[in-house]
């Protein structure tokens, strides 16, 4: 596993080669708004380190995943989500992963298509 993959869409976003609407950035993580949101607030949290799938995660990534998990509720609060949110990490073809760079979907806000 390399620090970046020159063919990876999310590595290109991290490098600034592809624009994104950033919600957060530090030396380890980047969070940006999904271009095809499933909810009123839908951000992706990605590590800057290229890890293709959750299946490749090892003990050495524990702190990085912890940072992702801690950032999710912080971002939802900052983005005005007050009634709960969903976190999803798709892994591999059967898990519905489309972009092979580890990423956490964080979605919140009212969803009018749900039955009340």
DSSP classification of residue 43: E
The alpha carbon dihedral of 101, 96, 113, 85 has a sign of negative
Identified catalytic residue from 50, 101, 103, 105 = 103
Give yes or no for residue 26 having a pLDDT over 70: yes
The reported pLDDT for the residue numbered 113 is: 61
Q: Residue 1: pLDDT band by 50, 70, 90 thresholds?
A: very low
Model confidence at 115: pLDDT above 70 = no
Query: What is the domain partition of the chain in residue ranges?
Result: 9-108
84-98 burial string, b = 16+ CB within 10 Å, else e? ebeeebbeeeeeebe
Assigned superfamily of 9-108: HIT-like (3.30.428.10)
Whole-angstrom distance, CA of residue 39 vs CA of residue 52:
25
| pLDDT surpasses 60 at 77 | yes
Summarize pLDDT for 6-18 with one digit per residue, the tens: 999 999 999 999 9
Burial 4-23 (b: 16+ CB within 10 A, else e): ebeebebbbbbeeeeebeeb
Average pLDDT, the chain: 94
The 10s digit of each residue's pLDDT in 78-94 is 999 999 999 999 999 99
103 catalytic? Reply is yes
Q: Can you give the pLDDT at residue 4?
A: 86
């Amino acid at each position: 596993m390399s620090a970046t993959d020159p063919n990876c869409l999310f590595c290109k976003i991290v490098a600034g080669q592809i624009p994104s609407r950033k919600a957060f950035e530090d030396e380890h993580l980047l969070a940006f708004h999904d271009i095809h949101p499933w909810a009123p607030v839908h951000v992706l949290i990605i590590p800057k380190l290229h890890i293709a799938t959750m299946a490749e995660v090892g003990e050495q990534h524990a702190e990085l995943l912890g940072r992702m998990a801690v950032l999710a509720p912080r971002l939802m609060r900052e983005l005005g989500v007050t009634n709960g949110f969903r976190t999803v990490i798709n892994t591999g073809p059967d898990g519905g992963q489309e972009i092979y760079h580890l990423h956490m979907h964080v979605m919140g806000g009212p969803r009018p298509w749900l039955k009340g």
